Amino acid sequence: MSADRASDSLTALAADLRRRSAADPALAPFAGLLEQVDRSSARFERPEPCTHATMAHLGPALAAAAGEPALLAATRAVAEAVNWRQIYRGEGVDPALAEGMLAAQIAGQVGILASDSLRTGLFLLAPGLHYPLHTHGAAEIYYCMSGRLTLQHGAGGTPFELRPGDCSVTPPHRLHSLDTGAAPVLLLYVWIGDIDAPNWWWERRPEGGWRRVNWSRTPDGSWVKTRTETVTEAHLRQANG
């Protein structure tokens, strides 16, 4: 079950991004890599049950989901076939934030399908959540399937909203933050490029300027906090585009 559903979801997402790439060429590399995922590389046929409290938001998010019919059907089907996990372990993070974000890889390091060239899957965010400004070396697509997501690019950027059927591209190293409102948000995400690079969470220093906290990926696909460093001028230029 899982392998076919993963394959169908990649096909539907790649086709949708391919169509959109006529107007937005930045989407074409994502579509190209999705099309190339080896469909015979399935690791499991049945998902592990997930009893995490945030899973209570998945059903309502799927029920409220909207968008291109083939992608919507494939997303609803694959959501039951993936392994859902809490992605940030708890250390030093507001528990409501760490526990309010679940992800499930469709293809990648721990996905249903294996891939070394991308990571793609579903990202479920609880209502009322603020995922702080962060950067990573990978280029990223967020494709909204359900709820309303407020995104900000750059430290002083103007927030913008993604609604079902909207997608955004975050360039490598660009600062971005995410906020949810009253409804849970369900996204499809795709990472390409430097997909093994760490994730950096930025925070203002009491004495001025910024510091950033390194989150490195573990073998199970989750993130663990390692070290903190001061943000340099070069980091700032890269992060604000």
Question: Smallest distance from the beta carbon of 104 to Fe ion, in angstroms?
Answer: 16
- Closest to Fe ion by CB, 2 vs 120, is 120
Question: Smallest distance from the beta carbon of 76 to Fe ion, in angstroms?
Answer: 24
Count of residues engaged in binding Fe ion, rule: CB under 5 A: 1
Is residue 18 within 8 A of residue 28, CB to CB? The reply is yes
HSE (side-chain half, CA atoms, 13 Å) at 36: 12
- Closest to Fe ion by CB, 72 vs 138, is 138
- Which tokens sit at 185? 């948000």
Q: What is the C-alpha separation between 87 and 28, in angstroms, rounded?
A: 27
- Closest to Fe ion by CB, 68 vs 140, is 140
- Closest to Fe ion by CB, 2 vs 170, is 170
CA neighbor of 37 nearest in space, from 105, 124, 139, 122: 105
Question: Smallest distance from the beta carbon of 49 to Fe ion, in angstroms?
Answer: 27
Question: Smallest distance from the beta carbon of 238 to Fe ion, in angstroms?
Answer: 15
Site for Fe ion in 129-148 (CB under 5 A): 140
Question: Smallest distance from the beta carbon of 215 to Fe ion, in angstroms?
Answer: 11
Q: Which residue is nearest to Fe ion (CB)?
A: 140
Please enumerate in sequence order all residues whose Cβ is within 8 A of that of 141, keeping only pairs 6 or more positions apart, or say none: 17, 27, 30, 167, 168, 169, 170, 188, 189, 190
- Closest to Fe ion by CB, 20 vs 173, is 173
Q: What is the C-alpha separation between 120 and 109, in angstroms, rounded?
A: 10
Binding-site string for Fe ion from residue 91 to residue 130, where x marks contact by CB under 5 A and - marks none? ----------------------------------------
Rounded to the nearest 10°, the torsion over CA 109, 110, 111, 114 is 50
Which residues contact Fe ion (rule: CB under 5 A)? 140
